Amino acid sequence: MNGKELLKQVKAAPWVNSKELELFLAGVPPEAVTAHEISELLELICHQRLASDLRAHRLRCAAFKQLADAARAPALFVPLVRAIKRADPQARAAILPLIAANNSPADHGELVDLLKSPEGELRKAASAVLQQLATPAALTEIEGLASAKSFPGRAEAADIAGRCGGPRGLALLQAVVTHGSSLERARALRHLGDRAQMEGHAAEALRAIRPALADEDARVVAQAIEAYSGLCEEQEYFEHLAPFLSAANVELVRAAVRGLRQFSTPSAISALSRKLYSGPGAVRLEVLNALEAIASNEILPPLVEALAHNSAPVRTRAGEILSKLGRAGKLDVPRVIIWLLRSNKVQVRRMAVEIARSVPDPNAELWPRLLDYLCDEDWWVRERVKDSIVAMAGTQLTPFMGRYLKHRHKTLRRFAVDILAQLKDARALGALVATAREDDDWWTRERAIETIGNLGDQRAVPYVVDLMRRDQEVQLVCLQALVDLGARTASPQIAELLASADVDVRVAALRTLDELQAIETAAQVQPLLNDPEIAVARKAKEVLLHWNIALGGEDTAALQQATSLLDRMLIGMERAGADDLILCAERPPCVKKMGRVTPLAETLFSAKEVAALLTPHLTLAQVEELKELRDVDFSHEVKSAELRFRVNVFQQRNGLGAVFRTIKGELPALEKLGLPPVVAKLGDLRDGLVLVGGPTGSGKSTTLAALIDHINRTSHRHVICLEDPIEFVHASKESLINQRELGTHTATFNTALRSTLRQDPDVILVGEMRDLETINFALTAADTGHLVFGTVHTASADTAIDRLISAFPPRTQDQMRFTLAESLRAVVCQYLIKRIDDPGRILACEVLLNNDAVANLIRKGKAYQIASVVATASEQGMQLMDSELMRLYRAGVIGLEDAQMKAIDKKAFDEARGAGEAPAVPPAPAAEQPRPAAAAAAAAALPLAGPSSARRPNPASR
């Protein structure tokens, strides 16, 4: 290719996209690109008629920039500078970087002439280049222009001088200060006050600034004050700027206050303290900002005074500063908080509580003293500071709380039990048992038993059983504690309460046996079917149905109609509130509820029995697929109970296995799923690919069903859903929805994919994207103007992207990255995590929205860096999974272990975990009920910590 052909190609700009342009440029030989050709190309990109085709003009400018960058020559400097006068913004952006690359110092006058232009953008462009290249001669020339009355480029000249520095730059800035307008003078003063730019010339800069302190324009004076204070010593400040602290103009006072942030001496802080009370409000807040900038222990007196100020904004800002600097370790905050807690002013104590909640205590100095002060404080102060103390001290509080459990005031005993409930430290077991037995306050006793249950230590079970037998007033809370402990071994003692005279106790005992799956007590439960209390009889029937025990009577109609053992198990699973039934050879049937797998019954099923349960529900083709070691998916319905299930049957080591997943059928409302608001907007997209990720059982199908329902209710589109099987049935509303089930409405998934694009869809749901053909189809459909939804089994957005790309052969992966970068719209990854504040699970999700930064990382194969983009784009609606998990944990919604298990960066959660040795727990008492005296002695013997002093109750005392 010669120069003439090169010009012809660039003028035609035949490339469709940037990739084609890159291929063209790679084929241009270096000898075809000379200074002459670059000059000709320069004329092309500045041609107004050619610039009318925006796409071609953009590609033409990109081609020029790359070609010119490879053919640098000082001879090009003048043509490039002159070209920016007539270039449009696109061409100018391509030309400007090349001027510096082709620098010709002798021709800098061409750039200086541009500063005379009335066009602001042209002056700005010339200034940007001169800031890099300006020679002393050019600065001298600009200085002469700056003294002219009608020179329009004084502001740009100030920027050039500030960047270049040195004596010439200083002289130019002084010329702008002398001859410029108010805004131009203020701009030059800002550069004069920059310590980095004026390094080595501070004295000269101060002399240049000083006349501006008497300027007639207050804005210029304010800028001069800030500039002067940025360079001067403290003595010079008080000599020349201190009078402005008493000026009538508030802005001048604020500027003088800002200048004091440079100094941390007693005289500076004393001046700030005086202004804190002389006001007005804007000045007070400026004083607090200055104190924050000083950030030393010397600022504590005025900050503490500010917390008692009668102005709410001043109090709030002072508290924010104390919290922020305390967290950063710049202040000795513990002694301040303790002093504030003793204040007789309510607002000061409240502020102290807020500070205590936000400031860490790395040296463990704060919390022991706080505890002593809290004894004399109001109850609400203790309540509000409680969480902070637990967060700061952790299990180090346990011995102190044991001492508080014996305090004469019941409010302090209640406070201690609440602290121990949050700590969950098994070392407190002995003290809690003694409190549960001996305290004369019923609330404290019940809260102590609840806390024992929450410890989760099986060695606590005999103590709770003993309490349940010996004290009728706490039987209900003891039953709940046994559930929390998973104390199935206590089933015989719980069953004894079925004979209680209290209806509530009988119902609670039934509920406890049911939750513990204590099927061995069925014989004791069955008589309660005839209990005179309806609530008891109904609960007994419900428990026995859950245990899959034939009862007879009208209440078992569903079980009688479900003639197969499989259907009876499925009904039992649904009534137990579980999500999955799992069948495996040589194992008992299990159910999965809230992420926890538990046996549905104790009977082991052999391989033949599992096959006998499953085979009647398989077609001949599915049986053949199993023989060929392929999994089988289908849907199963229990019509008598109106239940539907999604089924996967597979071969495993001992024979067939199967998982039955409940299909709720009820369409979820998108607004009630707990998804971020930005997810709802994904249904309003017109095209592109939207991925929903997460492990099995994380609610991906539910999220997609809610999005399809949102589209169905809000837009007029044709939606095609390819499902295996159909879970949620969508009745067409505003949109037209066609749902196709694999094996029922189409022979294979691949066949359905190929025909989908011929059915004129607007929205396509492809389900799980687990093979190359499905992924390739989804990308193609999204790239051709369709909105495509799919699911992936990944825990984060970046791994979802890598999963899609890695499905393609290595030779095509680069091309698919470009395709995915263009077509991807969003990735939503989610978990369902067990709540600790309420029954059930809560949704935690990560949201990635494709923007220029994300698309660039996808194209470069740097998906691992996407997390950093998500972390800094929360204002766009993005959020990281780790951040959401930490938010839910700090809000008390989920447990630390669950959050850390799901987190990517697990170290971030280690800081929330209190350090300490393995807890020591007292040994359990004997199974029999001890006499009261012996039981009291046993409780008294339980230690707070360490096994050395633990003793068993004396059997001889029974």
Structure confidence by residue, pLDDT tens digits, 304-315: 788 878 888 988
Predicted confidence (pLDDT) at residue 375 exceeds the cutoff of 90:
no
- Mean pLDDT over residues 38-57, rounded? 88
Q: Is the pLDDT of residue 929 over 50?
A: no
Specify the pLDDT at position 163: 85
pLDDT in tens, 529-561: 888 888 888 888 888 887 866 444 444 444 444
pLDDT, residue 523, reads: 86
> What are 321-362's pLDDT values in tens digits?
887 887 777 877 766 776 666 565 666 666 666 676 666 666
What pLDDT does residue 17 have?
86
What pLDDT, on the 0 to 100 scale, is given for residue 913? Answer: 67
| The token pair that represents 224 in the structure block | 């001069």
**Stretch 864-881: mean pLDDT, rounded?**
90
CA distances to 582, 731, 765 from 716, in Å: 41, 14, 16
* Cβ pair 357, 388 in contact under 8 A: yes
User: Tokens 């920039």 appear where?
Assistant: 65
Residue 944 pLDDT: 37
User: In sequence order, what are the residues at sequence separation of 6 or more whose Cβ sits closer than 8 angstroms to the Cβ of residue 866?
Assistant: 797, 798, 801, 848, 854, 857, 858
Q: What CA–CA distance (Å, rounded) separates 605 from 170?
A: 91
| pLDDT greater at residue 623 or residue 222 | 222
Residue 417 has pLDDT above 70, yes or no: yes
Confidence label for 265 from pLDDT (cuts 50, 70 and 90): very high
Q: State the pLDDT at residue 553.
A: 43
- Higher-scoring residue by pLDDT: 808, 393: 808
Does the pLDDT of residue 928 top 50, yes or no? no
According to the model, what pLDDT value does residue 512 have? Answer: 93
Pairing of strands 841-849, 736-741: unpaired
Q: Rounded distance, CA 451 to CA 423, Å?
A: 9
Bond prior to 280 in cis (omega within 30° of 0): yes
pLDDT tops 90 at residue 689: yes
Rounded Cα–Cα distance for residues 610 and 583 (Å): 7
| CA count, 13 A, side-chain hemisphere, 427 | 20
What is the structure's pLDDT at 14?
A: 87
What amino acid is encoded at 820 in this protein? L
| Burial class for 125, CB neighbours closer than 10 Å (0-12, 13-18, 19+) | buried
Question: What pTM was computed for the model?
Answer: 0.42
Higher pLDDT, 577 or 851: 851
Asked whether the predicted pLDDT for residue 942 surpasses 60, the reply is no
pLDDT for residue 568: 83
Q: How many Å apart are CA 542 and CA 546, to the nearest integer?
A: 6
Output b/e per residue, 315-348; b: 16+ Cβ within 10 A.
Answer: bbbbbebbbebbeeeebebbebbbebbebeeeeb
Which of the four pLDDT bands, split at 50, 70 and 90, describes residue 948?
very low
The pLDDT of residue 562 is above 80: no
Predicted pLDDT at 955: 32
Q: pLDDT tens digits, residue range 653-684?
A: 888 999 998 887 667 788 888 899 899 899 99
Residues 786, 758 contacting (CB under 8 angstroms)? no
Mean per-residue pLDDT over the chain, rounded: 83
Give the model's pLDDT for residue 952: 32
Q: What per-residue confidence (pLDDT) applies to 946?
A: 33
Judged against a pLDDT cut of 90, whether residue 364 lies above it is answered with no
Buried-state track 893-914, b at ≥16 Cβ within 10 A, e below 16: bbbbebbbebbeeeeebeeeeb
Residue 746 DSSP label: B
List the one residue out of 297, 386, 305 whose CA is nearest residue 347: 305
Taking residues 421-445, what's their average pLDDT? 88
**Which carries the bigger pLDDT value, residue 187 or residue 958?**
187
Kindly tell me if the per-residue pLDDT of 303 is higher than 60: yes
Classify burial at 937, counting beta carbons within 10 Å of its beta carbon; exposed 0-12, middle 13-18, buried 19 or more: middle
Whole-number pLDDT of residue 227: 93
Question: Tell me, what's the pLDDT at 363?
Answer: 66
Q: What is the pLDDT of residue 353?
A: 66
374 vs 480, which has greater pLDDT?
480
Range with lowest mean pLDDT among 154-163, 513-522, 687-696, 719-728: 719-728
Q: Which of 390-394, 604-608, 924-928 has the highest mean pLDDT?
A: 604-608
Q: pLDDT tens for residues 379-413?
A: 666 776 676 677 667 787 888 888 888 888 888 88
Residue 155 near residue 190, CB atoms below 8 Å: no
Q: How far apart are CA 693 and CA 844, in angstroms?
A: 12
What's the CA gap between 871 and 505, in Å, rounded?
Answer: 51
The pLDDT of residue 311? 86
**In the prediction, which pLDDT does 494 show?**
93
The share of the chain scoring above pLDDT 70, in percent, equals 87
Element at 582 (helix H, strand E): strand 580-584
Burial string for 146-160 (b: 16+ CB within 10 Å, else e) reads: beeeebebbbbbbbb
